[in-house]
Structure formats: C-alpha cells, structure tokens
Chain A
C-alpha cells in the first residue's frame, strides 16, 4: 500500500519534471532560433533586410521531426514567412522573449516571439520575429519519460511489494520454525527449545523455555511426591502385614482368622497399589530419557515369571511359558519393560480364577509380540482403548481391588518403545489376551 502510494507519487513527480524539462528545452531552442533570425536582420536604407540563417531553422530539427513555422513582421506587414502565423497578443519587451501555445494548421504549437529594433534614429522600427514549432516531439519525449516512469514506478512497486513480502516471510519464518519445533514435541517432551531463532525472538523463546522448565520441575515434583508417598506407605505396610500374619497364626476362632485374612489381603492390595504408583512415577521419569540398551527379551520374561511364580502358586495358577529356545534380542529400557510385563502378569494373576492357566507366549513375525493370555473374566463391555488411561478399570472388576494403573504403565512403556498394547477380550466372556507389541530390531 505504502509502496503503491510512493510509486504513484514518484510517477507523478517524474512526469511533471519531465514535461517541464522537455518544454523548457523546446523553449530554449525556439528562443535561440528566433534570436538567430532577429540577429540577422539589418536595414538597408529604409528597407529591412533579412538573411535567414540556415541554422536558425535547422537547429529546430535536431530534437524532433516537428513542423516549424516562422514569421518576420515589420509593423507594416509580413517581411517573410507564414503571414497567417498569429502575432503575440502584446508586443514583447526588447530582450524578453514571449512564449505562447496555440493551435496552428491543425496542430498545437509552441511559439516564441522576440523583438529587435532595426534602423537608426527616427527610422528605427521594432521587428517581431516569431518562431513556432509543433509539440509532437515534446509529447513524444514526455510520453517516453512517462512510460519509463510508469515502468520504473511499477518496478518500484513490485520490488517493494516483493521485498516486504520477503521481509515478512523472512521475519515470520523463525516463528513458524519455532511453532513447528514446539508442535512436533511429544506430550512429555519439556526440554528447552533450541531451534535457531533470531535475536528478536530470543525473549519469547527464553520465556517459553523458562515456563517449560518450571512445568517440568513441577511435574517432576509431582511424580517425586507420588513415589515418595508410595514408598513411605509401602514400608510400614510391610510391617503391618508381617504383624497381621503373625496374629493370624495365633488366632483360633475362625471368624477372627477370616477377618484377619481379609485384612492381610487389603494390606497386600495397598502395597501393590503403592508399588504400581512407584512404577508409574518411574515410567514417567524414565520414558523422558529412554535408554536404548540391547537386551534379551526371553530372559526378561523368564525373570518376571519367576518373580510372580509364588503369587500364582497361592491361587494354584499355572504360568505356561511358550517361549523360543534361543534368546530374543530387543532394544529398550530393561527396567521399564520388566515393569510393564510384571504389571500385565500381575493383573492376569489377580483376575484369574483359582486353578487356572496363564500362557505367556512370544511370537516374532514382523513385530515382537509378547502375549499374556488368561482365563479370567476379561474386561466385560468396557471401552478397550480407554482402559489404558490412568485409573480406569474394567466394568466387571467386582470385588477385586486395583489401582487402574497396571495397563497404563504397560501402555506408556510400549509406546515409549515405539510399540503398542493390544487388548483382545474373549467374546464368550472367559479370558483375555493382552499383547505387548514392539518393533523388532
């Protein structure tokens, strides 16, 4: 807009200056021509003589191919030239050319008249010399300049517009880069922004980074708090459980023993929940900076099965390991993967009826798929995708206590490893199969 106004202003100024320059050039040459003719006037006796100089008219042809008219007027009549060429309205003063513009023989002409006295004493007469020229060349010059000015103006406008667009996009590009850098981030990525930014944007980036640092600190504190709380709860719980165990053995009355067993079971659940909260906090923390260790999935699964073997035995549940004979290479964070598997297996044991089977199977096709299949009650008609979110449990958990964190932990770990968690529930209502699918290395 500003560029357009400037261009128009430029164009108008150039045009008017050009017109003035062209006109004054024509006026100068006309004056020179008329003066040359006036200078060649002389008197012979009472006659006025004129030796018209060739250059007087020839010079008018140097700038353009304009038509030329002249008239030499003595006061009594026309000495020579075009006797219908109009004389100036008022006799010009000596030494001062008079200019006029009028139409003559079908074209607008610029005319100059000079006065020169010829003769001496009383016989001196003022002779008027008028030279006129059409303004074709003037118009042409002015048109050429106008066209040029128009071109230059348009060029100005285009260049200015282009430059401002370029400047705007150049100025906006870092912001777009920054936006992209921030938008591409995962939900837990709170590292400072390091995208290349111009100095003008540094305050914004700094503010953003400082905000993220505070957010990150706050989140960490949160997780720390949960972990700390869980830890602090679990330790006294273990003591309470031990005491309850001893008391249980000492009790004789069946109703007392039942009550105590209930208590021990509740304590177990609480300890489990605390453990899961700890796991979850750990998962949150470790996924931010995921380790890329090479590990053996087979050994890892074996370890988890061993650890939960005792719990399973309590309910007479058989854990069937359907594993290949050779090691299964995988890449990732061993502790996280272990926590994920442990939570899944723990869940399976929890929801399986007594004297049932849990099959842990590994399939290696395109992906590495670790499935845990139980004969439990499944998930009912719960929304399978929502199950993975925090503190969400199946619709048919009934009397079984749980935190709703187990699947969440497994899901977050799998996703951190670039994999996914697959939940398949048996349509007949018995048994579920949860698979941890990881990309193969």
Chain B
C-alpha cells in the first residue's frame, strides 16, 4: 500500500504503550524484501514505513550507484519501527519514517548517530535536526473535494471558509465529511496536533465536523476512494503527495490547498545507534537527501523531494519544525488529554 498509510493504523495509546510500557510482543513486520547485489560486499538493513512499491525505484537506483551493496528492506508501521528501535534494541542500519515526532524522540533520547556530509549540509536548516535526522521529502496535508459535489461551485480556500460553508448548509454535508481517526493514525494524530497548535479554528472545525457526523478513516487511500466516488463531499487532512499520485489514475476529485496554512510533513531518515553498516547507511542518507537532483526517481516513486523554493512560492506552506516541542504530544498525559478533547469535539452522539 502506498506510503504505508495502512501501516499507520494505530490502536489508541499504542505509542504510549510502546514508549512507556514494557511490550510483551515483538514489533510487527508487514513486508520484507532482500535486494541481493551481484557481487555482494556488504548488506544494508533498512527499516522503513514506506511501502516497497514506493521505495523500489529508489532502492534500485541506489544499488545501481553502489553495486556491491545488498539491501534488506523491512516495512513496518511507524509505531512498530519505534518499538523495534526504542524498546527492543533491534539492529538496523537505517530507519526511514514519516513520523517526525517519533524520529525526533529517537534522536532526542540518544538512539541516532550524528552524520554530516556535503549532501546533508546542503539541506535547509528546517530539513535536518542535530545532524541526526535528515528529511528527504516534503508532503503537505491537503483537503480533497468531490468534483461532483462542488460542480459549478468554488470549494472553500481556508479553514474559516470551510467552517462557514458547513454552518451555512449543514444538511448538504451531514455524514459526507471525512477525516483521519487520530486515535488510529500516526499521521492523522501528528497533523491534528500541529493544527491545534497553529490555529484556534481547528477546534471549531472539529466541533462543526462532529456535529455533522464526520466519517473517520484510517488512511488517505480510503478517503480518496470515497471522495472520488462522490460518497464524501470532502476529506480533511489527506496526505497531499498520495492524493497527487492518485489523481493520475482516479477521476472525480480535486486537491485544495488552504490559503491560511498548510502543514507539511517531512519524511526522514536516521542512522540508529545499533547500526552496523554505517558506511552504506551514510551513502543512503546522501542518496536520499539528493533526491531532488533525480527527477526520474521523484517521478517513479512519486515522493516530492525537498524544495526550499516551494515555500517561497507558497507562503501558506509550513514545514513542521523539528524541535523538542514534537515530544510534547508524545507525552502520555498530553496524548490522553488531546484525544479526550478530540473525542469530545468529534464524537457527538
């Protein structure tokens, strides 16, 4: 599944459980593939939340550049990746994840290695942290709207406009709005928490959506499917890069980027302390951070590379900042409090 979003199906509190409780079960592996080298000199063991079909072209290109390296690619969910490294001390040479908060937690708590190279130094400041976390994609959270529903009508261009529209004609939208179930999705939780920081209108929007019996989803793919089919009028906080790639094969929906602000998630790589093949891991970090210089790979993988210019062109785009603040919503009490608020707003029976 693209971008491992189904992989982000999290049971409420799973992160907390992974972090603060002693897990009995081992982390779950979704998929694993080994890319053997012709004349193998070393093996690079990658744990990642990105699905194989997304990363396949990147791994193939990396192997073309480094012919002696076999790649052992393991796909897990974000929470499982965290559990493997944080709790179980599993040994991997590289950890690739879309969960910025969990990557930050790994680096903050001393589970990542420091690495600098010309390629990493070329990254903008907001795209790396402590020289341990390196971003290589920028993926906005967008709104997708149904073409059929908004035929001849301009879709809302901000959260306030959306709130106004929902209040104006509640009956049209009842049961036809979709968003992430933040209790189950790591990406949804991160976007929701960032929203709650960025704007007061977030909670009002949740209130309104709750009143209109919003549908909750585990993943972007299903939201896109339901919007495209006209089952939903719109879906809020869909992963933009995914929607963009679906647009090529699916009709019936449009992507709307709000003008007030658009949270941009950064997909990152880090070299765990438990890494054994550090040289190849560093080569892979260099390769990923230079993704922008390989338009062919960007097209194949449909992963939007880091492009600082895009933030100048659209000032509403806001990359989520790496800083210790990302640890706040991982705090168990904080998470409980947030989910309680969220449920109070969204689940009004």
* Interface, chain A (partner B; CB < 8 A): 49-58, 60-62, 65, 67-69, 79-81, 105-107
Contacts and interface: CB of A to CB of B under 8 A. Distances in A.
Given A65-B129, A67-B108, A81-B331, A51 B337 contact: yes
A50 B328 contact: no
Nearest to B129: A65
Given A54-B197, A67-B109, A67-B110, A61 B324 contact: yes
Interface string B183-219: 0000000000000010000000000000000000000
B130 to A, nearest CB: 4
B108 A68 contact: yes
Contacts of B332: 80
A105 B129 CA distance: 18
Interface of B: 107-110, 129-131, 197, 321-325, 327-329, 331-334, 337
A68 B110 contact: no
Chain A to chain B: the 5 pairs with minimum beta-carbon distance, closest first: A61-B323, A58-B325, A68-B324, A57-B324, A65-B130
24 contacts: A50-B333, A50-B334, A51-B333, A51-B337, A52-B333, A54-B328, A54-B329, A55-B325, A57-B325, A58-B325, A58-B328, A60-B324, A61-B324, A62-B323, A65-B129, A65-B130, A65-B323, A67-B107, A67-B109, A68-B108, A80-B331, A105-B109, A105-B110, A106-B110
A80 B333 contact: yes
A239 B131 CA distance: 119
A62 B322 CA distance: 10
A61 B109 contact: no
A60 B129 CA distance: 13
A246 B160 CA distance: 150
Contacts of A68: 108, 324, 327
Contacts of B197: 54
Contacts of B325: 54-55, 57-58, 61
Contacts of A57: 323-325, 327-328
Contacts of B324: 57-58, 60-61, 67-68
A53 B327 CA distance: 11
Contacts of B321: 58, 61
A105 B108 CA distance: 10
Contacts of B109: 67, 105
Most buried by A among B324, B325, B334: B324
B129 to A, nearest CB: 6
A262 B108 CA distance: 128
Contacts of A69: 108
Contacts of A58: 321, 323-325, 328
Given A56-B328, A65-B130, A67-B110, A51 B334 contact: yes
A337 B114 CA distance: 96
B123 to A, nearest CB: 13
A55 B326 CA distance: 10
B328 to A, nearest CB: 5
Contacts of A52: 328, 331, 333-334
Nearest to A67: B108
Contacts of B327: 57, 68
A65 B110 CA distance: 13
Contacts of A80: 331-334
Contacts of A106: 110
B326 to A, nearest CB: 8
Contacts of B130: 65, 67
Contacts of B337: 49, 51
A266 B322 CA distance: 122
Contacts of B331: 52, 80-81
Contacts of A55: 325
Contacts of B107: 67
A80 to B, nearest CB: 5
A68 B337 CA distance: 22
A2 B329 CA distance: 58
Given A56-B328, A61-B324, A67-B130, 15 more contacts: A51-B333, A51-B334, A52-B334, A54-B325, A54-B329, A55-B325, A58-B328, A61-B322, A65-B130, A65-B323, A67-B108, A67-B109, A69-B108, A79-B333, A105-B109
A107 B132 CA distance: 15
A298 to B, nearest CB: 92
B341 to A, nearest CB: 10
Contact of B333 (A49, A62, A67): A49
B191 to A, nearest CB: 15
B121 to A, nearest CB: 14
Most buried by A among B107, B328, B337: B328
Contacts of A51: 333-334, 337
Contacts of A79: 333
A64 B216 CA distance: 39
A80 B328 CA distance: 11
B8 to A, nearest CB: 22
Contacts of A105: 109-110
Contacts of A50: 333-334
Nearest to A133: B324
Most buried by B among A55, A57, A105, A106: A57
B89 to A, nearest CB: 15
A49 B328 CA distance: 15
A97 to B, nearest CB: 19
Contacts of B322: 61, 65
A68 B322 CA distance: 13
Nearest to A62: B323
A81 B328 CA distance: 10
Nearest to B131: A65
A86 to B, nearest CB: 16
A407 B110 CA distance: 104
A426 to B, nearest CB: 93
A69 B323 CA distance: 12
Contacts of A62: 323
